[in-house]
Structure 1
Amino acid sequence: MRKTVLTLIVAIAAAYSYAQEGFIRGKVLEEATGEPLFGATIVKQGTITGTSTDFDGNYSLKLPVGTHNIIFQSVSFQSIVLEGVEVKANEPTILDVVMKEDVQQLGEVVVTATVAKDNEFGVMLVQKKSVNTLDGISASTFRKVGDSNLSSAMKRVTGVSVQGDKYVYVRGLGDRYTLTSVNGMVIPGIDPDRNDVQIDIFPTGILENVLVYKTFTPDLPGSFTGGLIDIQTKAFPEKKNTSISMSLGYNPSMHFNSNALSYKGSSTDWLGFDNGARDLPVTPKTRLQQDNETTSLFDPTLGAERGSNFMNSSLSFSHRNQLVGKKLTWGYNALFTYRNRNSYFQDFERRQYERNAIGSGIGLVRDYTAKGDLSQNEVLWSGLASIAAKSANTTIGTTFLNIQNGVTSAVKRTRRNTALNNPTFLYNDILTYTQRNMFNNITYGKHQIGDVRLNWTNSFILSSQYEPDYRETAINEDDGQLGFRNGGLMNRFWRELSEVNENFKVDVEFEANENNKLKFGGLGSFRAREFDVYNYAYGNLSASNVNSTDPNDLSQFIISDSRTNGLYIQNATDESNAYDGTQTLFAAYAMNEMRIGERLKSVYGVRMESVKMNYTGIIEQDNGIEEKVTDQETLNETNFLPSLSLIYSLSETMNLRGSFTKTLARPSFKEKSEAFIVDPITGIWFIGNIDTKQAEILNYDVRWENFFRPGEKIAASLFFKDFTNHIAIVAFEVAPNQVTPRNVGSAVAYGAELEGSKNLWNTPAGTLSVGGNFTYTISRVDRTTVTVSETGQNEYQSEVNFKGSENGVERYRNMSMQAPFSINANLSYETTEQDWSANLSYNVQGETLTYVSASIVPEVYTSPFHSLNFKGSRNFGKDNNQSLSLRIQNILNDDNELRYRTESDSELFSLRNPGTTFTVSYSYSF
């Protein structure tokens, strides 16, 4: 009886153990090309239990709990046997492998499973085998250095600098020459007037890897020159995971400060949008009556209030999984992030200078100084949801991304105008709110039809920017008397921008033979924008004497039944500042990837892009008369963009690359307009130039690269870029605070990049690694090709006329927004058990020309900002499913500073001290 019971117990236990199942999942790559290997079989050794890879190289195999030997096989490839693969219950084991062509019939290779668990090798292989010059960073690197969002991770990519902890510049070129795509489809940022995307909205947990393309091929958009940043998300997560994370950040110079500024907005500001409290209380374009009834409709709050602010905070939630069915495999992701940041800049300063001829030299004469306090509250939340289904030959999926951003700003400062002809002293309050939203849906399909691969993608984007009830008050003090007689003002405005963007593209790829891979496709894109602005000002200012510098006390001077001569609101809208714009773009391309012998590969092709832009608004004709136009064509160009790349394999690990390409940069809707758009805090007026042309760029690149092992490489590059009609932001020659886009007839930028990464030592306890990159750029603009006045006078002539002689006037200068150098360095440590990690990173860009000079207007340069940051993380709990980290930003406590500069003088333009921020984060996964 006992034997029977014991036998039964053992049988039940064995059956239960066998019933427990898990998965092995991963990706199979072809070593020769770095591309996914379609149709490879994965089988448990000694059985017929197996599966095969789809056309993305992914596979999923269900196996009983225990240890197994797994065979990877494919026709004409060397088989691989992974021994000792451990399968756990209800948990996937990740195995990524690379298979070599079996040209010598060498049979199979037997290795242990542990060598194939790091996808860093996959990213390195993509870089090594890519037809583009590119750099990248993998999900395993995110985990190793403890990066929680993409902005901190990108600082380790060669030639990349991150501005404001959120915008990426490649090779020092500004956002005009940088594009961002998600899974191959270009998306805009939350600021409709920028090309680059605020990358800190992407948590690293949902990313597979990030690739930075530095050279153009015909299958990529033609409108990038510096770089294309492709963010690749995981459509099919390897395992089920739910995570929650939160953080608190403290800056001693910014938080819990009783002098911080704010004003009463709406009850939903903490959600990143206004609930209507700031909406225009009258119908737009209505002619207002000078009476109490109309004026009382407007919020009487005009000044900032002092009060303590809170520290930074964030919260995020994500859930993802892969479900394997009989016919289809499903993958889904859901993500929500919320961030609330407070900043307080004490003694924020903005100065304006003009050049003045003094004897035989040129000096700087101060025009005004604005100094005081600036507080901002920024709320940003984003939601991402994706679902995809695949069979062996087809994948179809869709992704929804919504980003909401609200920024409240309050300024209280004094402004001293020191111009000799009109000195004034003002008490200046500014209240602003900016609300941005971007909604994006990307739906895609991937199909393998025999030897042909067909991909299609549709992207629909809605974006908006709403700036309700900007308020500025300036109270003048003259001989001890307060009022509005000399420079005083009370202004308000509402601005609203909306844009719709629809894109559809198709790519077809097939191998004509073993040495030629052909690819062709096309793109159709449509964009439409509406921009409206409504200005209002208070009348009867000159008749008012006030007794307080606080704008909120002005309510006693507002018009009422008993004060018929008080301040009243009036319409000051200039309809020429509103505009509508449309852009249609059609593109088609063809390219061939051809092997020439065993070591040389060529990639050549051409892309055609045809674009039209139309403008609706008021423009000034040649005779000086303003006229309303509807759908006036402002741009009509068809361009052929050739591309030729050669990749020579010097050895198994070493490549030499060379390429020639032609690319474009197009002006934005705002630039091709007649609008006057002011930034009330800096006081800078942006004035559109409807005659702005698109820029055309010839690009030459050479790169040598050596890949030692995952995480270790060295590379050196040379590049040369020849710009025609480079678009620069240039100041008007007699108005230092007014800037406009101008085309530069001739400009070049050339330089070198050097990068390296190395594991300093590997010990049983952990790994210490170091990495760094240096980019050096020389740029040159022919100033005789830059128009700076309505009469056609160029920048060089303007300075010659101002100085009265050509002596000391340089014909060439640096390109605006082109950094002369950038340095990134990092030192990382991770324990073998991955329970401790630490990372120290440093980033700096050289002094960069920001605003170009003309006549009395001096040049403005952005000073180098030395960014030293530290992050340490401790993972603990079951399977390290919990994490606690400390991040310290701006350890050197450096300032954000812009400076005027002439041949002999340098003065402050603006100054902000961001201070040092300490952030503690906690995350939990289950």
Structure 2
Amino acid sequence: MKHLILTLFLSFGIATFAQQTGSIVGKLTDKEASGEPLSFANILIKGTIKGTTSDYDGLYALNDLEPGTYTLIFSFVGYETQEIEVLVEPGKVTNINVPLGANAAALDEIVITTTTRKDSEVALLLEQKKAVSLETSIGAEELSRKGASDAAAAVTKISGIVKEESSGNVFVRGLGDRYNMTSLNGLPIPSNNTSKKNINLELFDTEIIESIGVDKTYNAINYGDFGGANINILSKNYTGKGFAQVDIKSGVNTAAIGADDFYTTDGPNFTGFYNEEIPNSPFTNDFNTSFDRSRAGTPLNSAIALKGGDSYDVGEDSKFSFFVVGSFDNGYSYREGINNGAPNLNSGLPNSEYNFDKFSYKTATTLMGNLGFNMDDHSKLRYNFLMLNNSEQKLEEFNGILDREDDAPEGGGFIRRSTFERTTLMIHQLLGDHELSDRLDVNWAIGYNDMTNLVPDRRQNTLLPYNNNQPNGPKSFRLVSAASANHRFFQELTEDELVANIATSFKFSKNEEEEFNGKITLGYNGRFKNVNFESTQFNYQFLNPNSQPFVDPYNIDAYFNEYNTTSGYYQIRTFRGTASLAGALDPQTYGGEQLIHAGFATLEYKLTPKFTLFAGFRVEQIVQNIDWNTVIQGIGENELDTFEWLPSLALKYELNDKNNLRFAASKTYTLPQFKERAPFLFQEEINQDSFGNQYLTNSENYNVDLRWEFFPTKNEIISLGVFGKQINNAINKYLVVSAANNLSYANTGDATAFGAELEVRKNILQLEKTVNETSLESRLSGGLNVSYLNTNQDLDSKKVNEETGYSAAFTNTEAALEGASDLILNADLSYYTELAPDKNLRATVVGNYFSDRIYALGSTGRGHLVDQGYISLDFIAKAALSKRFSLGLTVNNILNPLIERTNENAEGDLDTNNPAISAFLEKGPITTLSYKKGTNASLTLSYKF
């Protein structure tokens, strides 16, 4: 596969090179009316017939201009005409704000700035205003102004989006990870987490982002595995003068720094580039790492980033550019709280009841670079490389009741789990855009993604009181019955994927203004993924219970140092058996391939000057083969083969220059993930085991949106939208009725979602003052978006039982969707002031709220597991102290709310006819998880050379 990628890259590399166009945007104001917007003024490129007029807000835009110097003529009846010479640079937007009046404006009244097209807040808002689709874009300029530090924080500025707890994944309109898609420069990318479909957005620092587009309505050019949003990250493409910059950050987490001692697991290093192989003689306990915890130093968070870029003219018409950034970030966190199992229906008491401590150390290493070569005014070629290595080592300790009717029923049980997980993702992309004529464009892209996920030598120990009647007495392995309660676990998952896009667009029906009314686009997308997973677990089975010695929970190594595998106290076995069994070291595996071939066609046509249609049709052939060799299901294989027809329609009507009315409708699908279909037992969390369902199939989604948009000024928007979704054969996580009470996945029934969204971005106050003949600006701006959502789904236990072979007993016959909050609110307030030409201060307060949402559906008479809603508050400030030096302060999770998950009482539409449900929980809610994350504070120093 890798040789194939290299060959394809070289083949495309000798193709035609590329060139970008530029744009001019700006605002015209009326000097005779105290700077009010000047509507319907004329802007003409001298010596041509190309031009435009300003809208109600005085805004104008001239797009797709070839690089070079132009003279613009600004005119209005009764006003002095202005001629301004401006340089258009490739891939950039030149902002020219011009006051017109009875007399000519002075040069210092005309404001000219240049930035990249996707950086510019004004340009992106103009694009959103003129586009037919409902995509919302956030550029680097706005990200900096609002203090967003990564892609996850950036997208929460958009209505209906909220971050998932303890991750960088997001819920869009109440729809979680499985319903969203993430792409980089238009090409899909894999997740960095085996349990997630999408990559952690926190890994994308805003320093490498040019803009982020979030499309909550379906467009046929995108893959059809869509329900919530398609999030497309555009990586930074530098085309300016050479620069280099270094950022250094240090900070603390108040919970981690406040712990009496901070502990880590033995083995992993500071950088996160670590692996531990299975030893040659594992059945003799020949392992290199300790079961005991290690005391760490002071838990201070730190980060360093180096970045730079430059561009060079090559001959008269060509330009070469590059941008590179490398960073390393680490962070410590600590949590203490409670972690309980499912409650008993009669007593209401949880079957397991722990107090827990969790020590975590995370690292993130990023290396990104891109190369661009532009040639011949009509083509561009770009290569992008991205490497992400993120790791986490967790030390978790649980004390209390393991099983109220069996292990440590009076308390005194002890569990320690030491986990190191590392994911390395490598992305290569080659992209080309070619303007063959003023009517015909061709663009293509090819990418190769390689992901490796490792869990090397996860260790777990379980100790019980020597005597159950003495919970505070000495502990030992004497009463431990399950061999898997003490184990070492090794896992490796690899995914490699080839992705390819090609599309051609043809413009037709030129109008009187020399613009085309229509455009047809035809294209092909392909995804070819291979997945391989294997794991081996070494379980410690304890023998001779009456002679087992006492064990110190904080010196477990002493036991194994004194007693080896020949002592008769224990033996080591895998899930397949002991060393005497042939094949005992054979790993449990699953793997397979996913092939998607897709063709699409879109038509964009301006039916009238105000009414535009955008219609699309897409077909996808999807094959997902999976094979396995596991203890649960033995050796087997399964194939999901489906052909999807995916129509889409978008309509836009311009009520006037300030108001748009939009409508969109589409059909899409949701595809199950490999892990959800693999019949493999995943023991990833204490109190939370899961396995896949090979009979899982895709669900169908029907989507409709209606939205009104109002653009008061160039950087303000007020919008109100309503939407609806019908999800047939929805996929859910559920509790399997069995002695183990494991979680699995099933197509549980049909679902609906209806909601409304309100978004407001407003300049509250804007002032200008002149100091030493220099105009300085101060502004106060705010943003608010609110989303209300109502969801409902059918829960059909009989359907699940018949389709999966596993037993389901949903407490309710209907319920809300997992992860769907009724109310989501995001708000920010930003203040910016210029102190001098190269000195400014920016401060932002960001608040988020989500209401309660279902984590897992209620089963066997228990109510739903519900994540309680809470408010979060962040503060970000950045001061530019000179042209080269800046200082930043960030304080996250200021309120430090209680994070709580509860098992609710059985309420609503109960399944009283299900014989598998003997009683209903009425003594809740019972807290199953509770902790605080602490407040994170950091200081950043930046210097630009």
Query: Could you tell me the TM-score, scaled by structure 1's length?
Result: 0.83
Cα deviation for residue 255 of structure 1 reads: 1.9
% identity of equivalent residues: 22
Give SS of 1:670's match. helix
640 and 29 in structure 1: CA distance in 2 versus 1, 3 angstrom threshold: farther
Task: Please identify, of 436-445 and 862-871, the stretch whose mean Cα deviation from structure 2 is larger.
Answer: 862-871
Work out whether residues 579 and 673 of structure 1, in 8 Å CA contact, stay in contact via their aligned partners in 2: yes
Aligned pairs for 1:419-430 (under 5 A) are: 419-420=404-405, 423-424=408-409, 425-430=412-417
123 and 873 in structure 1: CA distance in 2 versus 1, 3 angstrom threshold: same
1:414 aligns with 2:399: yes
Give the aligned partner of residue 474 of structure 1: 462
Give the aligned partner of residue 183 of structure 2: 181
Question: Which amino acid in 2 is paired with 1:132?
Answer: S
Q: Which residue of the other structure, out of 757, 763, 782, is the alignment partner of 1:770?
A: 782
Q: What is the alpha-carbon root mean square deviation over aligned residues?
A: 3.4
Cα deviation for residue 418 of structure 1 reads: 4.8
Question: Which amino acid in 1 is paired with 2:941?
Answer: Y
Q: CA separation in 1, counterparts of 2:847 and 2:721?
A: 21
Give the aligned partner of residue 384 of structure 2: 399
1:854 aligns with 2:859: yes
1:301 aligns with 2:296: no
Query: Could you tell me the TM-score, scaled by structure 2's length?
Result: 0.82
Give the aligned partner of residue 34 of structure 1: none
Cα deviation for residue 468 of structure 1 reads: 0.7
Q: CA separation in 2, counterparts of 1:690 and 1:855?
A: 23
Question: Which amino acid in 2 is paired with 1:572?
Answer: F
1:114 aligns with 2:117: no
Cα deviation for residue 94 of structure 1 reads: 6.4
Deviation per CA, 1:326-380, whole angstroms, max 9, x where unpaired? 23111211011110111121x3321012351x4xxxx633101121311011011
94 and 781 in structure 1: CA distance in 2 versus 1, 3 angstrom threshold: closer
Deviation per CA, 1:698-755, whole angstroms, max 9, x where unpaired? 0010000011223211000101000011111111134575111111221011100001
Q: CA separation in 2, counterparts of 1:524 and 1:373?
A: 46
Q: CA separation in 1, counterparts of 2:556 and 2:651?
A: 71
Give SS of 1:552's match. coil
Cα deviation for residue 26 of structure 1 reads: 5.2
Cα deviation for residue 306 of structure 1 reads: 4.0
Give the aligned partner of residue 458 of structure 1: 446
Cα deviation for residue 139 of structure 1 reads: 1.9
Give the aligned partner of residue 783 of structure 1: 795
Question: Which amino acid in 2 is paired with 1:464?
Answer: T
Aligned pairs for 1:479-490 (under 5 A) are: 479=467, 480-487=473-480, 489-490=485-486
Work out whether residues 255 and 334 of structure 2, in 8 Å CA contact, stay in contact via their aligned partners in 1: yes
1:863 aligns with 2:868: yes
Q: CA separation in 1, counterparts of 2:759 and 2:601?
A: 33
Give the aligned partner of residue 372 of structure 2: 388
Deviation per CA, 1:790-809, whole angstroms, max 9, x where unpaired? 7979999654xxxxxxxxxx
Aligned pairs for 1:255-404 (under 5 A) are: 255=257, 257-266=259-268, 269-274=269-274, 276=275, 278-282=276-280, 294-295=284-285, 297-299=286-288, 301-325=290-314, 326-345=316-335, 347-356=336-345, 358=346, 364-391=348-375, 392-404=377-389
Cα deviation for residue 181 of structure 1 reads: 1.4
Cα deviation for residue 70 of structure 1 reads: 4.0
628 and 559 in structure 1: CA distance in 2 versus 1, 3 angstrom threshold: farther
Work out whether residues 809 and 859 of structure 2, in 8 Å CA contact, stay in contact via their aligned partners in 1: no
Question: Which amino acid in 2 is paired with 1:513?
Answer: S
Give the aligned partner of residue 735 of structure 2: 731
Q: CA separation in 2, counterparts of 1:646 and 1:535?
A: 56
Q: CA separation in 2, counterparts of 1:309 and 1:636?
A: 54
Aligned pairs for 1:689-838 (under 5 A) are: 689-734=693-738, 737-764=741-768, 765-784=777-796, 787=799, 789=801, 799=811, 811-833=813-835, 835-838=840-843
Give the aligned partner of residue 423 of structure 2: 436
Work out whether residues 312 and 340 of structure 1, in 8 Å CA contact, stay in contact via their aligned partners in 2: yes
Aligned pairs for 1:513-524 (under 5 A) are: 513-514=509-510, 515-524=517-526
Cα deviation for residue 310 of structure 1 reads: 1.7
1:683 aligns with 2:670: no
Q: Which residue of the other structure, out of 895, 912, 918, is the alignment partner of 2:898?
A: 895
1:906 aligns with 2:925: yes
Work out whether residues 301 and 552 of structure 1, in 8 Å CA contact, stay in contact via their aligned partners in 2: no
Q: CA separation in 1, counterparts of 2:185 and 2:843?
A: 30
Q: CA separation in 2, counterparts of 1:249 and 1:92?
A: 37
1:874 aligns with 2:879: yes
Give SS of 2:127's match. helix
Q: CA separation in 2, counterparts of 1:56 and 1:332?
A: 24
Question: Which amino acid in 1 is paired with 2:353?
Answer: T
Q: CA separation in 1, counterparts of 2:383 and 2:633?
A: 47
Q: CA separation in 1, counterparts of 2:130 and 2:801?
A: 50
117 and 320 in structure 1: CA distance in 2 versus 1, 3 angstrom threshold: closer
Cα deviation for residue 687 of structure 1 reads: 0.7
Question: Which amino acid in 1 is paired with 2:480?
Answer: G
Question: Which amino acid in 1 is paired with 2:670?
Answer: A
Q: CA separation in 1, counterparts of 2:570 and 2:111?
A: 78
Give SS of 1:124's match. helix
Cα deviation for residue 419 of structure 1 reads: 2.5
Work out whether residues 733 and 798 of structure 1, in 8 Å CA contact, stay in contact via their aligned partners in 2: no
564 and 541 in structure 1: CA distance in 2 versus 1, 3 angstrom threshold: closer
Work out whether residues 96 and 110 of structure 2, in 8 Å CA contact, stay in contact via their aligned partners in 1: no
Cα deviation for residue 211 of structure 1 reads: 1.3
In the alignment, structure 1 segments of 5+ residues that lack a partner are: 1-23, 32-39, 46-54, 63-68, 74-78, 100-107, 800-809
792 and 454 in structure 1: CA distance in 2 versus 1, 3 angstrom threshold: closer
Work out whether residues 97 and 111 of structure 2, in 8 Å CA contact, stay in contact via their aligned partners in 1: no
Work out whether residues 462 and 499 of structure 1, in 8 Å CA contact, stay in contact via their aligned partners in 2: yes
Give SS of 1:853's match. coil
Question: Which amino acid in 2 is paired with 1:443?
Answer: L
Q: CA separation in 2, counterparts of 1:856 and 1:486?
A: 31
Deviation per CA, 1:143-187, whole angstroms, max 9, x where unpaired? 323434333333322222123462232222111111111111111
Deviation per CA, 1:104-157, whole angstroms, max 9, x where unpaired? xxxx99996416657212111111122221222122212323434333333322
Question: Which amino acid in 1 is paired with 2:751?
Answer: A
Give the aligned partner of residue 126 of structure 2: 125
Deviation per CA, 1:855-891, whole angstroms, max 9, x where unpaired? 14442111113110111221112x3x22112111111
Give the aligned partner of residue 916 of structure 1: 935
Cα deviation for residue 667 of structure 1 reads: 0.5
Question: Which amino acid in 2 is paired with 1:662?
Answer: K
Cα deviation for residue 319 of structure 1 reads: 0.6
Work out whether residues 429 and 473 of structure 1, in 8 Å CA contact, stay in contact via their aligned partners in 2: yes
Q: CA separation in 2, counterparts of 1:93 and 1:611?
A: 39
898 and 244 in structure 1: CA distance in 2 versus 1, 3 angstrom threshold: same
Cα deviation for residue 85 of structure 1 reads: 6.7
In the alignment, structure 2 segments of 5+ residues that lack a partner are: 1-19, 28-42, 49-61, 75-79, 99-103, 468-472, 511-516, 578-585, 769-776, 908-921
Cα deviation for residue 496 of structure 1 reads: 0.7
Give the aligned partner of residue 669 of structure 2: 664
1:628 aligns with 2:625: no
Q: CA separation in 1, counterparts of 2:556 and 2:239?
A: 59
Give the aligned partner of residue 248 of structure 2: 246
Give SS of 1:141's match. helix
Give SS of 2:711's match. strand
Give the aligned partner of residue 504 of structure 1: 500
Work out whether residues 343 and 926 of structure 2, in 8 Å CA contact, stay in contact via their aligned partners in 1: no
59 and 247 in structure 1: CA distance in 2 versus 1, 3 angstrom threshold: farther
728 and 700 in structure 1: CA distance in 2 versus 1, 3 angstrom threshold: same
